[in-house]
């Protein structure tokens, strides 16, 4: 068997995954506190007790679900940044990868965004730190690409970290704006707008 797991173990993984998916759906629809464990169990088509067999409590379930998504998000974007490509291609790749992962996960992304913030809602503090680190890591990788661009004299000689933060902010703003009003800002158009604004700025030359 390819995976090295018994049938039973695979089964459990699948069940766990179903529960996580159901939970994530509900959480992003209604927010953590407006979702009951019963509702999650029902959505996942398990009995309440079964859910508790997999996750020791609601908090735990929430964390696992968020961690999963955060990991997926982080993986997608670091993948987009790695590889032997020239700097501008890497940046464009990053922007479009972000758009691509953002679109289907917009609602979860909100939760993620809320979590990346600085505040310590005492619960979840551990998770918060964890996700924050992923975010920092991403910024760092982005900054390293920027640094490469600076050394190659493709980018202006500014603090790479600042540039990374700037690009992050630009993409977020456009993606949120796209989310609010999809017709006005079709997202492939947004990609080139972001890239142009980031690279050339707004000042008349």
Please identify, among the stretches 46-54, 119-127, 173-181, 193-201, the one whose residues bind DNA according to the rule CB under 7 A. 46-54
21 counts as binding its own copies under rule CB under 8 A = no
CB of 124 to its own copies, least distance (A): 9
For 198, the token pair is 């980031």
Q: Please, which residues have CB within 8 angstroms of residue 108's CB and are 6 or more apart in sequence?
A: 24, 27, 28, 69
If binding is defined by CB under 8 A, does position 146 make contact with its own copies? yes
45, with CB counted inside 10 A (0-12, 13-18, 19+), is exposed
64 binds DNA (CB under 7 A): no
Applying CB under 7 A, the span of 4-12, 21-29, 174-182, 188-196 interacting with DNA comes to 4-12
Which C-beta is closer to DNA: that of 46 or that of 112? 46
Element (H, E) at 78: helix 58-81
What is d(CA 152, CA 173) in angstroms, rounded to the nearest whole number? 28
The one among 2, 49, 104, 118 contacting DNA by CB under 7 A: 49
Does residue 47 interact with DNA by CB under 7 A?
A: yes
Axis crossing angle, helix 160-180 with helix 187-200, rounded to the nearest 10: 150
Task: Identify the residue whose tokens are 């996960």.
Answer: 105
Q: By CB under 7 A, name the one of 7, 157, 180, 203 that touches DNA.
A: 7
What distance in Å separates the CA atoms of residue 16 and residue 10, rounded to the nearest whole number? 10
Binding mask 160-189 for its own copies (x = CB under 8 A): --xx-xx-xxxxxxx-xx-xx---------
Helix (H) or strand (E) holding 130: helix 125-151
| Residue 8 site contact among its own copies, DNA, none (CB < 5 to 8 Å, cut-off depends on kind) | DNA
By CB under 8 A, is residue 199 in contact with its own copies? yes
CB nearer to DNA: give 57 or 120: 57
Is residue 30 near DNA by the rule CB under 7 A? no
HSE value, Cβ hemisphere, 13 Å, CA-based, for 130: 12
Tokens of 81: 């940044």
Closest-CA residue to 23 (of 49, 46, 4): 46
Contacts with its own copies by CB under 8 A lie at: 28-34, 106-107, 110-111, 113-115, 117-119, 121-123, 132, 146, 149, 153-159, 162-163, 165-166, 168-174, 176-177, 179-180, 193-194, 196-205
């Amino acid at each position: 068997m390819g995976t090295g797991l018994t049938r039973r173990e695979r089964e459990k993984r699948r069940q766990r995954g179903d529960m996580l998916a159901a939970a994530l759906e509900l959480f992003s629809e209604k927010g953590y506190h407006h979702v009951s464990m019963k509702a999650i169990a029902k959505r996942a088509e398990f009995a309440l007790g079964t859910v508790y067999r997999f996750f020791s409590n609601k908090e735990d379930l929430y964390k696992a679900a968020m961690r999963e998504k955060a990991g997926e998000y982080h993986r997608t974007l670091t993948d987009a940044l790695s590889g032997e490509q020239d700097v501008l291609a890497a940046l464009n790749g990053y922007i479009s990868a972000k758009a691509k992962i953002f679109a289907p996960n917009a609602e979860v992304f909100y939760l993620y965004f809320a979590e990346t913030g600085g505040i310590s809602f005492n619960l979840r503090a551990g998770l918060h730190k964890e996700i924050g680190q992923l975010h920092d890591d991403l910024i760092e990788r982005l900054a390293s690409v920027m640094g490469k661009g600076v050394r190659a004299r493709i980018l202006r000689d500014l603090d790479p970290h600042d540039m990374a933060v700037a690009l992050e902010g630009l993409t977020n703003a456009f993606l949120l704006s796209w989310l609010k009003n999809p017709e006005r800002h079709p997202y492939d158009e947004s990609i080139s707008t972001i890239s142009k604004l980031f690279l050339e700025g707004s000042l008349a030359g």
